[in-house]
Structure 1
């Protein structure tokens, strides 16, 4: 069986107070904790890129640790090309000590050119960006060991010193790398991190990335991502989700993820295809589709995104309740699912 995680980009209109969005997400994560969701991850965005209101996801994760009991909290992702990795390593170590081992932090190499420009960071070609990303992750792992020997990559030369605090030894095994290419899959495998996938990717891409990850020595967990909305039945679910589906579909067309000349489908079910890859339906349908995705490319965590423009907070919370109370038991009873229970 796989477990459930949440990712939220803290999206909202630019003129909406950020505190309202933070409050809704806090309410959602507290509900997720009570329902038994395993993870909650938050994304880093600057200057309202991707409509995000949260530039410092680790702060939100730490804040919500004080409002929850069991759920593991973290980032999906911290963009390492915008930060010095030693600073990131120290912040994550402090957060993990304060939360007694509940951090599950994700790292990624990318951000939009607009966000990079804010920090004076040049978006390099893929090879250079991945090399720097790999070096940054090595810096983080070395810092967590508590003893900085000085034998570090040239891009992040730091004098020898003792790094404090020293987090729990299992912290690297609780951390994740966002994988959107074969290169990042190999980096994650080589360095021993778990891997997170985007909902923009197909099952075929998931399989290719997993193969590269395992070939590089990766033995960790795999989290597949999908937007999900659960209603009492298929018809009601599509009726409730249609405004969100159309808003997201139009946004993707505007962003170039869907060709500009593509005609918007009249049938809301047709809006759910690639690259949106949105799973909508009643409990039976959502359970079946998640099981089918698992059979196509096995994973340990179904990382779902439930908050979307066009859905009220009440509808989002109702969908999450149905996911955990009606969908998850159906998945647990599916004889076709086997695998490890995630850490």
Structure 2
């Protein structure tokens, strides 16, 4: 079992951290995770909404972090393709692959409904732009020269340079069943977001497995889980409460910038009109713990939760820890990384080694 690190880089106004400080702390957390044996560092691409995320250029972050690390891989969860010119984006992917020495992989997505008005992109164009951008990106990474004719992009004899050392590993995820069908068809991995317990996405994982089977591909599932660790479980649960609640609040904070529910439904963003996302911020802290939206406690308590998830999801290839919340002190994130890597990871890695021994 592989274990990674995931951060959203939330920075609410009351946090009062300069943006440069947030980035410096994240860089130190990546270096620390590399030394502690974590397999991946994951973040997202997001713009304009500080309480949600200030991760506007993850590929620049990876290129910088790669110069200070040896083994850890870098993964974006995910790049919002409709915001990009796909021919330009393909070249940026190639540069990131080169500068990270092949340690870069990424997920692709249509993006949250709230980003498009800020980007001056009509909501109703987002799915078309996503589909065309994805088709162009795949051509750019696989073919030395290509042409493409679509509604939004029409290019002839494009040669994207530089060339990547190899085609990066690709993922998708999100709330759409279509994404899980697409991932199974194309042989991509899927990412389970850190807002929901595993039971809430089992139906979509079944869709993914079925699609993988139909197209001869092997499931590859990464489960992102928010957690907070302390040697003392009760102290952990007490300390974690403000950070966990702000994390949930930050994830729904951009909803106030959305158009009417009727417009969202008519323009293919029905999920954002359903009220499902806002309801997450209203869940009481004790329910977040009891229903395992978040894992908070001692290493022994969390080790049991890891075991249960692995048993319930046999196609799981990685669990990524979200342990850096808006406003949390830097040293507390480092503590969770330390406790997890020293007291939880070795047990599962030893089990894997025993299985591999003839």
Q: Aligning the two structures, in what range does the TM-score lie when normalised by the shorter sequence? A: 0.7 to 0.9
Return the structure number with greater relative CO, CA threshold 8 A, min gap 6.
Answer: 2
Q: CA deviation at 1:144?
A: 1.0
Q: 1:117 & 1:338 partners in 2: Cα distance?
A: 51
In the TM superposition, what whole-angstrom CA distance separates every residue of 1:140-190 from its partner, at most 9, and x where no partner exists? 111012423325544332212322222133x24x22223322101112222
Report the equivalent of 1:120. 120
Q: CA deviation at 1:71?
A: 0.4
Structure 1 position 287 matched with structure 2 position 324: no
Say whether residues 1:330 and 2:347 are aligned partners: yes
Match of 2:334 in 1: 317
- Are 1:136 and 2:137 matched, yes or no? no
Task: Name the residue aligned to 1:225.
Answer: 224
Shift, 1:57, TM fit:
1.1
**Within 2, Cα distance between the matches of 1:194 and 1:297?**
14
Is the CA contact 2:62–2:74 (under 8 Å) kept in the aligned structure 1?
Answer: yes
SS at match of 2:46: coil
3-state SS of 2:234 partner? helix
The structural deviation recorded for 1:310 is: 4.7
Q: CA RMSD in A?
A: 2.8
- Return the offset for 1:20: 0.2
* Post-superposition offset of 1:250: 5.3
Question: Which range moved further: 102-111 or 325-334?
Answer: 325-334
The match for 2:44 is 43
Q: Residue deviations 1:253-283, cap 9 Å, x none?
A: 8766454996x74xx5434256x81111111
User: Following the alignment from structure 1 to structure 2, what is the Cα–Cα distance between the partners of residues 62 and 117?
Assistant: 29
Indicate the residue corresponding to 1:184 in structure 2.
179
1:184-214: CA deviation from partner (whole Å, max 9, x where unpaired): 1112222332211112234244332233223
Find the counterpart in structure 2 of residue 308 from structure 1: 325
Q: Tell whether the 8 Å contact from 2:45 to 2:58 is kept in structure 1 after alignment.
A: yes
Distance change in 2, residues 1:145/1:161 (3 Å): same
Q: Secondary structure at the match of 1:318?
A: helix
Cα drift, residue 49 of structure 1: 4.7
* SS of match in other structure, 2:147: coil
Deviation at 1:101, TM superposition (A): 0.6
Q: Distance in 2 between matches of 1:311 and 1:320?
A: 14
- Equivalence for 2:262: none
- 8 Å CA contact 1:77, 1:106 repeated in 2: yes
Number of positions where the alignment pairs a residue of Structure 1 with one of Structure 2? 327
